[in-house]
Amino acid sequence: MNLIAPLCAAGFFASGVLSDPVSVTHYLVVGAILFTSGVVCMAVKRNALGILMGIELVLNGANVNFIAFGSPYLRGEGSASIGLDGEAIALFVILLAAAEAAVALAITLNFYNNHSTVDIDEADDLQG
């Protein structure tokens, strides 16, 4: 008896959460978490590479939103969907992210050559 109760509770909970299909909001929440952690990563990391990773995370979170809004699978009846555009824009975002990574790395390399560090707190030459 004392064994069954928690099982049932778990089962009902699981069935309650797991039994109905996900909605756009789920994706949005995931995107939000990725985005936020990217931003925090940018805000907190002192390592230039860390900041680049933060940028990647941010873009990725944005991509999740695009895919969510574009996905025909998540298209509830009546709720408008941007259809292919979502995926197309996501692809563009990915491409530009790759380009951005290349340039950013080049910049980081230069920074390292000049300052012999990748600590961007040292990059305050523009400080007023």
Partner 1 sequence: MMGTLLGDSTATLGMVLLAAINWHSLLFYLFAAAACACAVAVVLTDNVVRMAFYLVLSLGATAGIFFLAGADFVGAMQLMIYVGGTLVLLVFGVMLTAQAPFVSIRTPASDKVLGGIVGAALLMVLVLSAFSVESWRRPAMGLVAAPSATPLGMAFLGVRVDDDPLAAPAVDSIRSGYLLPFEIVSVHLLVVLVGAAYLARAKRRRIPRGIETAGADAAATGGRS
Partner 2 sequence: MDPASTLPLLLGLAWLTPLVSFVAILFFGPRMGPHGKSSAAVATAAIVVSLALSLAALGTWLSVHPVQAVSHDSHAAADSHADSHADSHADSHDQALPPAYSGDWYTLYEGGALKLSIGWYIDALTVLMFVVVTFIASCIHIYAAGYMHDELHDFTDHTVHLSDGSHFHRPGRFSRFFQSLSLFCFSMLGIVIAGNLAMIFIFWELVGICSWFLIGFYYERQSASNAANKAFIVNRVGDFGMIIGMMALWGALGTLHFADSSGQNSAGIETLRPGLLSLVRPEATHHALHVPDGMVKFAAADRVAEITLDHATRTEDGASEIASRVDDWRAMGYGRWLLFVAGIGIFCGCVGKSAQFPLFVWLPDAMEGPTPVSALVHSATMVAAGVFLMGRFYPVLTPDVLLVIAYTGAITLFLAATIALVATDIKQVLAYSTISQLGYMMLALGVGGWVAGLFHLFTHAFFKSLLFLCSGSVIHACHTNDMRKMGGLAKVMPWTAGTMLVGCLAIIGAGVPFVIGLSGYYSKDSILAQALSFSQVNPSHSILFVAATGGAFLTAFYMFRLWFMTFAGQPRDAHISEHAHESPRVMVAPLVALAILAIVAGWSLPGGFGIAAMLEQARPAGTAATVTSGYLFGSLTIPAEHESHVGAIHETATLAAFATAAAGVLLAAMMYVWRILSPLAVAWVFRPIYTFLKQRWYFDELYGAIFVQPVLGIASLASSIDLGVIDKIIDGVAWTARQLAGIDAWIDRTLVDGLVNATASATWSAGIELKKLQTGHLRQYVMFIVIGTVAMFVLASLLLRSSLAA
Which residues, 15 to 74, sit near partner 1 by CB under 8 A?
15, 17-41, 43-47, 49-50, 52-54, 56-57, 60, 63-64, 67-68, 70-74
What CA–CA distance (Å, rounded) separates 40 from 51? 9
Going from the C-alpha of 30 to that of each of 15, 93, 112, the distances in angstroms are: 21, 18, 34
Q: Of these partners, partner 1, partner 2, none, which one is at the site of residue 34 (CB under 5 to 8 Å by kind)?
A: partner 1
Q: Does 125 bind partner 2 (CB under 8 A)?
A: yes
Q: Does 128 bind partner 2 (CB under 8 A)?
A: yes
Buried b (16+ CB within 10 A) or exposed e, 47-77: ebeebbbbbbbbbbbbbbbbbbbbbeebeee
| DSSP state letter for 122 | G
Q: Does 127 bind partner 2 (CB under 8 A)?
A: yes
**Tokens encoding 14:** 């699981």
Q: Does 51 bind partner 2 (CB under 8 A)?
A: yes
Smallest distance from partner 1 to CB 128, Å: 14
What are the residues binding partner 2 (CB under 8 A)? 39, 42-46, 51, 120-121, 123-128
